[in-house]
Structure 1
Amino acid sequence: MAYTPMIQQYLSIKAQYPDAFLFFRLGDFYEMFFEDAKKASVELEITLTSRDGGQNERIPMCGVPYHAANQYIKVLVEKGYKIAICEQVEDPKSAKGVVKREVIQLITPGTVMDNQSLTPKENNYLTSISAFSDHTFGFSVCDLTTGEVKVTSIASWESVIQELAAYESKEVVVAPSFDETVLDELKQRLSVTVSFEENEEIPDALKKLADAIDQAKMQKSLGRLLQYLVKTQKRSLDHLQPAEFYAVQDYMAIDPNSRRNLELVATMKEKKKFGSLLWLLDKTKTAMGGRKLKQWIEKPLLNQEKINERLSCVESLIDHYFERETVRESLEKVYDLERLVGRVAFGNVNARELIQLKQSLAQVPAVIQALNDIDNDVIKQLAERMDPCADVKEIIEKGIIDDPPISITDGGIIKSGYHEKLDQYRDISQNGKAWIAELEQAERENTGIKSLKIGYNKVFGYYIEVTKANLKYLPEGRYERKQTLANAERFITPELKEKEKLILEAEEKMVDLEYELFQEIRSLIKEHSIRLQELAQLISRIDVLQSFAVVSENNQYTKPVFSDDRTIELKESRHPVVEQVIENNVFVANDLSMDESCDMLLITGPNMGGKSTFMRQVALSAIMAQMGCFVPAEHAVLPIFDQIFTRIGAADDLVSGQSTFMVEMMEAQYALSHATQNSLILLDEIGRGTSTYDGIAIAQAIVEYIHDHISAKTLFSTHYHELTQLEEQLSRLKNVHVTAMEEDGKVVFLHKVLPGQADKSYGIHVAKLASLPDALIDRANVILNDLEGKEEEKTLPIPSHNRISENSEQLAFFANETSNKQERPAADSKEKQIITALKSIDLLAMNPMEAMNELYRLQTLLKK
């Protein structure tokens, strides 16, 4: 027994979109069947039902209401799914057999256009990657909501990962033959949706977008991207902007781990904006300004001239408070021009959004005037390039009422006086109803029937209703019976029939004509898309610069100066985020000085003393400076860093089966193999995930390798105090420490960074702060004193610095080379075992019970 014709139609369409949920329109619902229904019922938490499909077994089925579909689509898209929208494409009244249906749009994570599914201050990027035999890649990225298109050529897969992380791409389009192992890595590391498109030819209708792109590799990735958009969206893509080439090497490189460690756009633990650098700097007034700010954070500049242009604008905006406030007040009334233009071109804008566009354009003259009053050539040039688009504003002003309904198909959106025929229809509709009221009164007087009334319904149209008791008063021949009710009769007269025709035709044509006129207005605005997009870009840039000015002034930041000799000089430097969230806003500022004679600072001191904060604030100052923002310090001299690498914090990679130590080693290896002399490296507690001797060996080898072979500016924090002896052996390494003091048996963290090495780690004091049991703390102090007494008899030696071979590539080799030089104990006595075990304990990585169990184990060993 075959499936019913309707189910056969569903299956044939579903076969074309096997990786998407097929929303199959049936009446007022989108229905799903078979496996789609089972999966959707779980993901959307809706009831799974069934229906007869022509086979012996009933077919699984679930559905969502047509009018509420967007909220369900949003849930699925956020989970990384695709949705194929299948609609009726012919009138059911004229259909022979099953109504014809087609997929009118494929909604994917990278092609969402519905505002409910978008975050106003975040781009929604779709990326295309083309791989080539020489292991290089063509890379294209597009935000369909704004029309932005960018392309580049990338030399390594690691750089591709960096770019995807920087753009936070929601979806990646590749060839079906793309390496599956690599795609699995993408899904795991970046949680992106992967889609496939074979065709790399740029569509004929969109060739103008590639005019500025002459490299074949980039053209292929761009062609793949545009082919995918054409096939999934099935509508106008006129709002897409010409593809813009950018060079990866023009921006500071920040790998995904470093982005996460530095909490640039989200916090590490909660993945929230609050507490990130983006949260701190975001004083933007527009959604497009917020998106631009995020782009600048993700991609700091390397070009000093461009950086200084931004800094000069920020300085001038700080100096011109009143003009800046005028700009801010005006921008507060500006809606999302970029996405409004996208919706105009995409064909899904409504009349209210056109009013938002008009209101936004009304603010532009005030912004231009305020910018022209600021004494800065760059700002004046930005103002000069701003086109107020007064003609676009006038189109909307003339045609659309000030408070239109959301629906564009029910009428009531076009102004009176805009179109003569529409005014005639409205006159007929409004005056016709008045005429009917007058007719009702005249019929009552002519017949003497005071209860006579004229009514209307959609089935019978207009009618004269007379109760049966009054039928005898009606004159003969003029009233034609139309409908019989239980207690009344309904009639129509020649005059009423004629007027009815005029009124109903006018109302029907009026609604249709309004929709046509709205489409015409939308088309007129669409012709100015490029001008509106350019205006939006300029406004977003000004919005970010004023945001920098506000944050810099409010928090007393300073304008950075850039050094040519890689000097770092920070006076009273602070962590920009921590100082805002710390209790009572009391943050201990610190100095940092690294001139030509110093490439590395070895930082010692207790946990919770502020080592990691100190390291991060240096990196954040560098990023802020290269974004064009002032920095949290009283004085700041910085080099321009090409890359930033961080290894901060402990984390297992359970998905890949990698321990904390393995993750630590891989991140360190990445930094060592990619860093240059112009990079900034932050390494925190390297080697702590293994035994003491191995840890020291690895840490020393890394320090020596960076010092001798890379010479990057490096901040290296450690609990291995033995490493502080390297200051005597490595000419460009200096010791600094974060200070603490004991007061009445309690540790007081001073958070001050001073020259020299720390005298102790205060680990047990930190354990006490964590509220471990007093008995445990007392016992730990006894053990520590005993161990320290024995340690005086034989200290752990650090080998003299020995140059590492230029040809050495593997970090394990460096670790082994150093480790082999250590003086190993001849026999593992009980005390030596205790010393080794105690030194390898990381109290901050243990909960109180784990710490107590470990100390109990050590105590038991001593008693045996």
Structure 2
Amino acid sequence: MAELTPMKAQYNEIKSQYGDCLLLFRLGDFYELFDEDAKKAAKELDLALTTRDRGKPAEEQTPMCGVPYHSAEAYIARLIAKGYKVAVCEQMEDPALAKGLVKRDVIRVITPGTVTESSMLEEGRSNYVCSVYLDAVSGAAAFCDVSTGEFCAAAFSEDCVSHIGNELARFSPREAVLSEGAAADESVCSFLRRRLDCLLEPDGGRFDYMAAAAALCEQFNAQDVDETGLGGSAAAVKACGALLRYIKETQKCDLSNIDSIDLFEGGKYMELDYSARRSLELTENQRTGEKRGSLLWVLDRTKTPMGGRLLRSWVERPLLSPVAIKRRLSAVSELHGANVLRQELIRTLGGIGDMQRLVSRAVFGSANGRDLAALGECCAQLPELRRLLSGCSSALLRQAAEIDTLDDVRSDIERAICDDPPFSVREGGILRSGYSEEVDRLRNIRDNGAKLVSELEARERERTGIKKLKVGYNKVFGYYIDVPNSAGAVELPPEYIRKQTLVSNERYFTPELKELETELTGARERVCELEYGFFTELRVSVAGRVERIKRSAEAVAELDALCSLAEVASRNNYTCPEVDLSGAIAISEGRHPVVELTQKDTLFVPNDTLLGGADDRVAVITGPNMAGKSTYMRQTALIVLMAQIGSFVPAKSASIGVVDRVFTRIGASDDLSAGQSTFMVEMTEVAEILRCATKNSLIILDEIGRGTSTYDGMAIARAVLEYCAGRRLGAKTMFATHYHELTALEGSVKGVRNYYITARKQGGKLIFLRKIVRGAADESYGIEVAKLAGVPEQVVSRAREYLAELTSATVAAPAAPAEDGQLSLANAAESEAAEAIRSASLDTMSPIEAMNLLYELKRKLEG
């Protein structure tokens, strides 16, 4: 093997410490990549792969590629987007002054979950890195947005995998650090990889309790972990400490923007699983994954990036406390009723940028002049916000009126930073004139060198009386005073020092000229050095006030989110809901918040909803496909969620009893790539719903029982429906079905009420009326829907013939009559199975027991 050069040996040593990263190695004006890193980067970035070892055998050549250092951020962003981790290795000394090999070291590891550059982040969305801890009896998950300093955690002592999965669905982290237990749990890893496209970092060593506790105490200046608020949960300490250690190892800088931990406790936020978030399209639509078409798209008219992120978190984390909900509703109501005030607030908020990320970059030492200037402009708007809010009466707005206006931060920045600072912080032009006398003097020298030389020349002519005296310059001797021999025997001042004798003249220099020469030749570099020094002092000073700036930014974000909800309520004719702990839902003329905006050319038909009373716990909804059953059920769930967010709702009136969880099983969510059929996925989700739901939950079930035989499906649908309505669960349930036989349960199962969505045939066509009314649909109109979908007329006609034959056969051989209000599910040959169902004690049967019974019945029926 060929002997390594000192530089390559240095590279190999550093690379060995960052084997899981692409190493960007600074060489002059480029970041170079070598070996396998070079091959990967060349492929991902469309770079030319080259080598410095041309002429050597192929096996001895070192592949390499590079990117200019001044445009490296764009290349790094592309690598991060593809899921790579990038270690940035810088020259730690000036190559011109280095003795021997230039010292180099990694200054930062950039990963998908820890990026802080604005070019790599979405303005209105947080970027989380998380850690997951699991053992046999406990679990915890911690989440951090490094770009803002947000740090939160949740810990669990039972059903840990399910709860952690829901937290992961809520935060959608880009990167996850996993304990040994979490890395060994296939459901956690699969969910992170496949559902969230998350980069996994299995690293059990970081979860050592003592090391984690020490990291937390050091970060939050605490004597022990109890002071951090995590002392009651060893799992939370391990998760938070491991995550903090990982962030410190990657960022390699001050993390004072992370100044507190928010530990989520049960009973504060509604828990929503991945299925519910996806099917209700809370933050993105199912079809394209874009924000448009989601609930957030409707509600988000925020003006600041941090307001947008906060509103998103509200949508993802509805409240459970009626007191907290009413505090938000009170503020939204006040803003809704004060149109002039609201518009002035919105206008002022429009002048505020991303204070959270700007101050975080100051803390990291990566903020440039433009960042600080932008922060100063944000601070300039705060006094106006405070003035506008001074007369408000609701608690949250009164609190916002006490905002710290950060006058000192604004003054320091405005006094120092010029109006249009450059992007670079090392090339001068950042400071405002008048900030530093020395900088101003050197700028004058730099910018007016010729004038200063001319002025010195004029002074010397006058002083010596030599009219032809000149000040000249050449690269060999520098600046000099030229005295012609024709001047005669003139007595020169004593400070004139002869420099060169020529045939026709003598050349001199003076201490003043030498000083001017030094200043002229070094002014540019000195100005840049001084400006950079003053700038870094200011940046450190601003970073030292990070806690105050973050608190003001949080106040701005909350005000922005409240104004957004009020503005949307005004534009869309929403009403203020009543929220309590009654457990009942009563909505008059409710509308789907998204559908009514996306289909503006069609009149949206409002509908009422009544759920949660002793006689109406379960709504069985029938009607044709495409008529709007799913839309109606989603509409109800979204109105409940909006109310618990603290938003007005699309209805004439609404009274919402707080819901602890919303569960959905709507539409197909097959996972064929995981080897699961449609029916198996449906049953797995139903089992999870029945296991986790409580009497305070809202359950949305659409077409349960498809994917298997008619009788199997009908039996399962009925068993599930009865379980939801029964005393053991008694959850508010909306149950859409095409099994019209299930409508016979009204009157025989307490709490079940029938509803159907209206449609009529007119001129051979099916017209959907979209209105929900009491009662049961008389037919499903399946053939008419098939015709609407474009099925060939020949097929439709044949289907009508078969339907007529099947209907005649059913009339000729009617089913056995119902007994004791129970639904007859089979003919005489299947009476044994029917009797087993009738005699089953469904109110005391668990979901697993019900499933076992169904499989046993199926075995008997199949002989």
TM-score band (shorter)?
0.7 to 0.9
Deviation (angstroms), 1:87: 1.5
Of the three residues 375, 397, 414, the one matched with 1:379 is 397
Name the structure 2 match of 1:712: 731
Cα distance change of structure 1 residues 447 and 578 upon mapping to structure 2, 3 Å threshold: farther
1:66–1:507 Cα change, 3 Å:
closer
Q: For residues 574 and 859 of structure 2, what CA distance do their matches in structure 1 show?
A: 49
Mapping of 1:258-407 within 5 angstroms? 258-384=276-402, 386-407=403-424
Instruction: Give the SS at the match of 1:512.
Output: helix
CA apart distance, 1:245: 2.2
- The answer on whether the counterparts of 1:461 and 1:500 sit within 8 Å (CA) in structure 2 is no
> C-alpha separation between the residues in 2 aligned to 1:425 and 1:645?
69
- Aligned mates of 2:220, 2:329 — CA distance in 1: 38
- The alpha-carbon deviation at position 491 of structure 1 amounts to 9.2
Q: Tell me which moved more, 638-647 or 794-803.
A: 794-803
SS at 2:415 equivalent = helix
Match of 1:584 among 583, 601, 609: 601
Asked if the contact 1:145/1:339 (under 8 Å) is kept, the reply is: yes
Picking from 554, 557, 581, the partner of 1:540 is 557
Please list the CA deviations of residues 250-292 of structure 1 after superposition, one character each: whole Å capped at 9, or x if unmatched: 1101001110000000011100000101110001110000000
1:127 paired with 2:130, answer: yes
Equivalent residue in structure 1 for 2:536, among 515, 519, 525: 519
Contact 1:702/1:814 (<8 A) preserved: no
State the Cα deviation string for residues 7-55 of structure 1 (Å, max 9, x = none): 3322222221222111122222222222222222222233333342987
Q: Which residue of 2 aligns with 1:756?
A: 775
Alpha-carbon contact 1:254-1:644 (below 8 Å) kept: yes
Residues 221-252 of structure 1 show CA distances to partners (whole Å, capped at 9, x for unaligned) of 22111111111111111221222222143110
Contact 1:669 1:811 in 2 (8 A): no
Is 1:148 the equivalent of 2:154? no
Alignment of 1:427-826 (within 5 A): 427-430=444-447, 432-438=449-455, 497-594=514-611, 595-708=613-726, 709-795=728-814, 797-798=824-825, 802-804=840-842, 805-807=844-846, 809-810=848-849, 812-816=851-855
Contact 2:132/2:182 (<8 A) preserved: no
Q: Distance in 1 between matches of 2:715 and 2:588?
A: 34
Aligned to 1:74: 77
Distance 1:460 1:227, change over 3 A: farther
For the 8 Å contact 1:313–1:378, the answer to whether it is kept is: yes
Find the counterpart in structure 1 of residue 92 from structure 2: 89
AA partner of residue 381 (structure 2): Q
* Contact 1:455-1:464 at 8 Å conserved across structures: yes
Residue pair 1:571, 1:636 contacting (<8 A) in 2 also: yes
Q: CA deviation at 1:317?
A: 0.6
Note if contact 1:698-1:819 (Cα within 8 Å) is conserved in structure 2: no
Q: Deviations over 1:190-214 (max 9, x none)?
A: 2211224423423364142763322
Q: Give me the CA root mean square deviation.
A: 3.1
Please name the residue that 1:29 is paired with.
Answer: 30
1:206 aligns with 2:209: no
Contact 1:701-1:815 within 8 A present in 2 as well:
no
The letter of the residue matching 2:140 is G
Distance (Å, rounded) in 2 between the aligned partners of 1:274 and 1:795: 51
Q: Distance in 1 between matches of 2:685 and 2:631?
A: 19
Corresponding residue for residue 114 of structure 1: 117
Q: Which residue of 2 aligns with 1:6?
A: 7
Equivalent positions of 1:214-225 (< 5 A) are 214-215=231-232, 216-225=234-243
- Larger mean Cα displacement after TM superposition, 350-359 or 116-125: 350-359
User: How far apart in 1 are the matches of 2:40 and 2:486?
Assistant: 68
Write out per-residue CA displacement over residues 556-600 of structure 1, whole angstroms, 9 at most, x where no aligned residue: 111111343322111101100000001415211101112232111
Tell me how far 1:545 sits from its aligned partner: 0.7
Q: Distance in 2 between matches of 1:539 and 1:133?
A: 43
Secondary structure of the residue aligned to 2:74 is helix
Conserved? CA contact 1:615–1:715, under 8 Å: yes
* Structure-2 change in CA distance of 1:547 and 1:479 (3 Å): same
Which residue of 2 is the match for residue 192 of structure 1? 198
Change in Cα spacing, 1:492 to 1:672, as seen in structure 2 (3 Å) is: farther
Which deviates more, 371-380 or 515-524? 371-380
AA matched with 1:76: L
Do the aligned partners of 2:153 and 2:262 also contact (CA within 8 Å) in 1?
A: yes
- Amino acid paired to 2:105: E
- In structure 1, distance between residues paired with 2:290 and 2:536: 41
Identity %: 41
The reply to whether residue 174 of structure 1 matches residue 178 of structure 2 is yes
How far apart are the structure 2 equivalents of 1:474 and 1:263? 93
Task: Quote the residue 2:435 is aligned against.
Answer: 418
**How far apart are residue 176 of structure 1 and its match?**
5.3
CA distance in 2, matches of 1:361, 1:341: 12
Distance in 2, matches of 1:266 and 1:68, equals: 33
Question: Within the alignment, does 1:39 sit opposite 2:40 as a pair?
Answer: yes
TM normalised by structure 1 equals: 0.88
* Partners of 1:462 and 1:496 within 8 A in 2: no
Distance 1:189 1:427, change over 3 A: closer
The amino acid that maps onto 1:553 is S
- Cα deviation, residue 479, structure 1: 9.6
TM-score norm. by structure 2 comes to 0.88
Q: Deviations over 1:119-147 (max 9, x none)?
A: 1111111112222331x113222111111
Paired with 1:613 and 1:606, the residues of 2 have a C-alpha distance of 13
Q: Which amino acid aligns with 1:767?
A: A
- Deviation per residue, 1:760-800 (Å, 9 max, x gap): 11122122122222222222222222222222223563357
> CA–CA distance in 1 between the matches of 2:14 and 2:405?
47
SS of the aligned residue for 2:855 comes to helix
Verify the 8 A CA contact 1:320 1:374 in the aligned structure 2. no
Distance 1:604 1:91, change over 3 A: same
Distance 1:118 1:20 in 2: 20
Whole-Å Cα distance in 2 between the matches of residues 312 and 731 of structure 1? 38
Report how many aligned residue pairs link the two structures.
Answer: 811
Cα distance in 1, alignment partners of residues 13 and 375 from structure 2: 42
TM-aligned CA distance change 1:449 to 1:366, over 3 Å: same
Task: Give SS of 1:121's match.
Answer: coil
- CA distance 1:651–1:246, shift in 2 (3 Å): closer
Q: Could you tell me whether the CA contact under 8 Å between 1:49 and 1:62 is conserved in 2?
A: yes
Indicate the SS of the match to 1:272.
Answer: coil
Asked whether the equivalents of residues 498 and 509 of structure 2 are also in contact (C-alpha less than 8 Å), the reply is yes
**Which range moves more in the overlay, 303-312 or 93-102?**
93-102
Q: Is the 8 A contact 2:590 2:635 kept in 1?
A: yes
The answer for unaligned runs of 5 or more in structure 2 is 490-495, 816-823, 826-833
- For residue 853 of structure 1, what is the aligned residue in structure 2? none
